[in-house]
Amino acid sequence: MTRQSADRIVRVAAAQLGPIASDEPRTAVVKRLTAMLSDAAGRGARLVVFPELALTTFFPRWYTEDVSGHDHYFETEMPGPETQPLFDAARDLGVGFALGYAELTPDNHRYNTTILVDEAGATVAKFRKVHIPGHEDDEPWRPFQHLERRYFEESNEGFPVWRAFDGIVGMATCNDRRWPETYREMGLQGVELVLIGYNTPIHYAPDPGQNALQGFHNHLCMQAGAYQNGTWVVGVAKGGTEEGVESLAQSAIIAPSGQIVAQAVSTGDEVIVADCDLDWCRHYKETLFDFSRYRRPEVYGRITGQKGVIEPD
């Protein structure tokens, strides 16, 4: 089947971030984000995707007895006074964005959250990270901590999708991208564009043998998710060496074919763009991955009925 031209071509930008220092003020970070928003808009982008926890350093690398001691890394309102300029710029430039940040709710819940903002600067969707990796307690044997499970609650809101930007848009955050269920949940709602931000340290303390494969695994799971669900996937890193910890970059925009059509080449602030033809999804959704015709949910009971592995006797 050949690719056909269509009206629903959305130029999407992945706005990769380099490191954010622990003492970098929000206002300085928002200036960096706004500069990338403006760059992307100048290149004709309609939607700009920023990474996970894009307003602060990746603070779960540090242990604190009382998590509220790190509340300064969290947002209690969005937009707030320091983030409002980003929303204003989006409205003035007529470009939407997705932004990851740490959310502290009025009733004291903490989530690893991403919002989707439209071209008028209005928040149209909110996603809270479902798969929270790492550990709850201090593990001093590690060269640095990954305490997301101490700082964030798992969201039970799942993977909704929204009609936005002339298509069906979903979001996921970092570790969510490694799980096939993430993409399938959205695929079953017809998703056409999945936006994913990530902070992935190169060093994986529980099994350092995986360090050299970080780049491969990053693209492997997102490319498979795109292809197996006939959807675009935009994966955006906060990369480079932040507070002594090296993180993966290699942000990528992936077509429904599973092919990478744009990839960042640096480990710093960098904008890449691609024209995402949302109608291209149909080539996969209506052929090899015609779910209505070929899926067999009656034999997939373990997927939702069971959590861990049950081996045979």
* Binding residue for ligand CDV, selected from 83, 113, 199, 250, defined by CB under 6 A: 199
CA triple 17-19-23, angle to 5 deg: 125
Question: Is residue 110 near ligand CDV by the rule CB under 6 A?
Answer: no
Assess 50 for contact with ligand CDV (CB under 6 A): no
Pattern 81-100, binding to ligand CDV, x per CB under 6 A? Answer: --------------------
Nearest to 171 by CA among 77, 87, 100: 100
Residue-by-residue DSSP string for 106-148: TTS-EEEEEEEE-TTS-EEEEEE-S---S-SS--TTSSS---H
235 binds ligand CDV (CB under 6 A): no
Residue 52 or 269 with smaller CB distance to ligand CDV: 52
Annotated catalytic, 242? no
Q: Which of 61, 128, 146, 238 binds ligand CDV (CB under 6 A)?
A: 146
The CA distance from 228 to 21, in Å, is 38
Residue with tokens 């790190």: 70
Query: Taking CB under 6 A as the rule, does residue 200 contact ligand CDV?
Result: yes
The residue among 39 and 154 lying less far from ligand CDV, judged by its C-beta, is 154
Count of residues in contact with ligand CDV, rule CB under 6 A: 10
Q: Binding residue for ligand CDV (CB under 6 A) from 178, 184, 219, 283?
A: 178
198 near ligand CDV, judged by CB under 6 A: yes
Measured in Å, how far apart are the chain's first and last C-alpha atoms?
47
For 202-281, strand residue ranges (E) read 232-237, 240-242, 245-247, 252-254, 260-263, 270-277
276 is catalytic: no
Instruction: Return the number of other C-beta atoms located less than 10 Å from residue 308's C-beta.
Output: 4
Which H or E run includes 48?
strand 47-49
Binding flag, residue 114, ligand CDV (CB under 6 A):
no
Q: Is 129 one of the annotated active-site residues of the chain?
A: yes
Interface residues with ligand CDV (CB under 6 A) are 52, 133-134, 146, 174-175, 178, 198-200
As annotated, the active-site residues are 52, 129, 174
